[in-house]
Amino acid sequence: MNKTSSEASAFVPQLLDRLPRPLNCELVLAPPFTALESVRTALGPSSEIGLAAQNLHWESHGPFTGEVSGPMLRDLGCRYVLVGHSERRSLFGERDDEVHKKIRAALTHELRPILCVGESLAERETGQTESVVTTQLKRALVDRSEQELSRIAIAYEPIWAIGTGRAATVEQAAAVHRSIRGFISTGWNKEVALTMRVLYGGSVTPQNIDSLLATDDIDGALVGGACLDPDSFATIALAGHKKRS
């Protein structure tokens, strides 16, 4: 919940001025609902940068005051949507069954979900990381086809690392990413697992992005606080650009 519509509109050209063209990696902006229209306008109709929403409701319309639906997001130019972010889960009580319905709604309305999963500090310290993450995946992705899986990205965001400055080590993140691919490979097939994008999110910074992207287990980053400053965000995007060059 950062940046008003006018602040977001001013941010976009500052970011664009710092990025090379063409950009070798895929970059997606996920502003608040109130800034989606202004960011789309600032990016322009031919921008290679995608637009994402931070959440959606699982119904397309109806008596759900305060909610935003998939068709509304598509009409605003969104191609992606975050689903199951840890703050939605921890602060607003979002449950796995709701995440499942949101994944289904996003796919129905031609949005590409970025499914967020991750464990708490207590769960990590008691050795439950893999079981927690795979349970979240199992409940969110039940009944999804191989074709649908190809349209979904997974973001591993350890709750204990979000906004704390305490990022997971590359080894910790890579181990969870491998277990995610293993789960997908077992539940669907190896090809889907290998081609699915698995991102890391949790105190990603200009200082640690190179080491995170140095391993083939990590396909990209879900950036939080570091994306609010155009210099910081551009540095992270440039790391992805160089990695994919």
Q: Catalogue the active-site residues.
A: 85, 157
Q: Strand order in 80-83's β-sheet?
A: 28-29, 50-53, 80-83, 112-117, 153-156, 198-200, 220-221
CA-wise closest residue to 70 among 38, 42, 102? 102
Q: Determine the Cα–Cα distance for residues 201 and 159; give it in Å rounded to an integer.
A: 9
The residues, any chain, with a CB within 8 Å of residue 173's CB and separated by 6 or more, are: 156, 158, 200, 202, 212, 217, 218
Strands 28-29 and 50-53: parallel
What does the alpha-carbon distance between residue 116 and residue 88 come to, in Å, rounded to a whole number?
10
Cis amide prior to 20 (ω within 30 degrees): no
Q: 175 and 119 in contact (C-beta within 8 Å)?
A: no
